[in-house]
Amino acid sequence: MQKLFQRYREQQQSLESHASTRIKDVLKEIQKEEEFGDEEEEDVLEAILLDHVAFRTFKGLHHDGDEKHHQFVNVKQMLMEKLRYRESGETLVFPKKKLKATWLKPPTPLMPRVFLSEIDIEAFEDERMSAIVRKAISSREGGKGKGAVLEDDFWEQKRDRFSLCENVSKDEYEYIAEKSEYAAWLLINGPEFVNHFALAMHRCRSEAFRVSSGEEMSRKIVERIAKIAKLNGEEENRVMNVSEDRKLWQFSTVSDELIAVNGTGEKLKGCGAYIEFAYREYISTGEGIEIESRKNLEEDESKRRDGFEVANADAIFESTKV
């Protein structure tokens, strides 16, 4: 996962800074402040602070029975086979957005969880929408577009290789964006591109970012990040998202803005990745331990709230509004 995050961060650094986003500045600020004992020489963001990584896809795209499935990287299957990720067995449902999600458990406590969501285009019961998406997916077919995406392409995170808007007109793209920002994001970025990484703020050790509760994160970290980047929910005054059990606290930036170009040269206004911040409270009170090494940190993580929350995730999805 470290290579994936490196490429993700390089993608942010290669984009022009927008006053509303500046995700690369957020990453630089946290990396500058965070050090961790004997791992000072290691990239702390990659080794310590990743809570989870998220991907999006279309329902049915990776089914063996679909003749086009081999044109796409099955992220879930690959991570389970190559990195020993495990099924969590949990399903999250988002009826209004026509989405379902699940997540994978990491092989070691400090590796990021993987959040995998999919959109059911047929559930919109909109034939034009379905036809546009089918056409977009067909752009991976040999001779029509850029061809199949391979696993090596996935680890390099080259957005241009993943995009599905090659044969989608500007009018068609805007129609999709009006119906579903989630689907519009997929056309621009493709199902292999990282939707977002989330940072585990309960693992931070610097004076600048160390917090001991979700409530403290909602004050200290939100205020600091808001000076660097625009936050999701800021305009509606609903930046912080808290699970029903009050054990999982999450907020996010808005996604970076970008312009994609289709096969006829039309410019499509869209958005890319963003950063999320998560704080996981202890499952039981009084379970905290003194953190002196990575081993202690792994033990500490095992005592904290795991998994995801539908209401929180539903709000975080809004980070990619076009």
Q: What is the pLDDT of residue 317?
A: 98
The stretch 94-122 carries a mean pLDDT of 97
pLDDT of 66:
57
Model pLDDT, residue 170: 98
**Does the pLDDT value for residue 37 go beyond 60?**
no
pLDDT of residue 14: 63
Phi first, then psi: give them for residue 321, nearest 5 degrees: -65, 130
Phi/psi for 134 (5° steps) reads -60, -40
Each residue's pLDDT tens digit, 272-288: 989 999 999 999 876 65
Question: Candidates 3.40.50.2300, 3.40.50.300, 3.30.70.360, 3.10.180.50; correct CATH number of 2-320?
Answer: 3.10.180.50
- The pLDDT of residue 22 is above 80: no
Q: pLDDT (tens digit, 9 = 90+) per residue, 204-238? A: 989 999 999 999 999 999 999 999 999 999 999 99
Distance CA 89, CA 110 (A): 20
State yes or no: pLDDT of 16 exceeds 60: no
Give the Cα separation of 230 and 246 in Å (integer).
Answer: 25
pLDDT of residue 164: 95
Pick from 60, 110, 101, 103: nearest CA to 79: 103
Instruction: Check residues 120 and 38 and name the one with the higher pLDDT.
Output: 120
**Separation between Cα atoms, residue 170 and residue 268, nearest integer Å:** 6
Q: Span 7-25, mean pLDDT?
A: 66
Tell me what percent of the residues of the chain surpass a pLDDT of 70: 87
pTM of the shown model: 0.92
CB neighbours of 240 closer than 8 A, spacing ≥ 6?
A: 214, 218, 222, 249, 250, 251
